[in-house]
Amino acid sequence: MNLSVLSAAHKVMFLLIILAAVIIFIMIMWKTAPQECYTEINGTYDRVITNVQKCADLCWRKHDYGKDLDNDDCFVVNVYSENGNVTKTDLENEYIKCYFDVVEQGKSYRLKIRYDASVPEISLSII
């Protein structure tokens, strides 16, 4: 092969490696982009559940997935479901515990999202 072909092949390989590195970097940053807990959660049944769970997840991550030793009142949010009752079974999972039975549609509630280090868990309670 002649020298110019090898030189061009090296340049192309170098550009492909840089492009792959940039794509990987963007993918990592996209996954770790900070999310936000909205203090006003109004809307459909599904939107309320998704956003309350997002807030609980942010609190859980903030406290090192249950390894932190300090209790913390992470968030207080206002919740209003337009089209369905949100029950404790809709929100609970392996680390989220609800201390209420239902958020009724058409009523406003203030919800405290708290990290409890003694259990450890994220507790959801109506205040």
Going by pLDDT thresholds of 50, 70 and 90, the confidence category of residue 52 is very high
| pTM, full prediction | 0.73
Integer Cα distance of 110 and 59 in angstroms: 17
Res. 98: pLDDT tops 90: yes
Res. 3: pLDDT tops 80: no
Integer Cα distance of 21 and 16 in angstroms: 9
Burial label, 9 (beta-carbon count in 10 A; 0-12, 13-18, 19+): exposed
62 versus 25: which is more confidently predicted? 62
Rounded to 5°, the CA angle 26-30-31 comes to 125
> What is the pLDDT, as a whole number, of residue 11?
83
The DSSP result for 4-58, as a single string, is HHHHHHHHHHHHHHHHHHHHHHHHHHHHTPPP---SEEEE-HHHHHHHHHHHHHH
Token output for 99: 């201390």
Segment 99-125, tens digit of pLDDT: 999 999 999 999 999 999 999 999 999
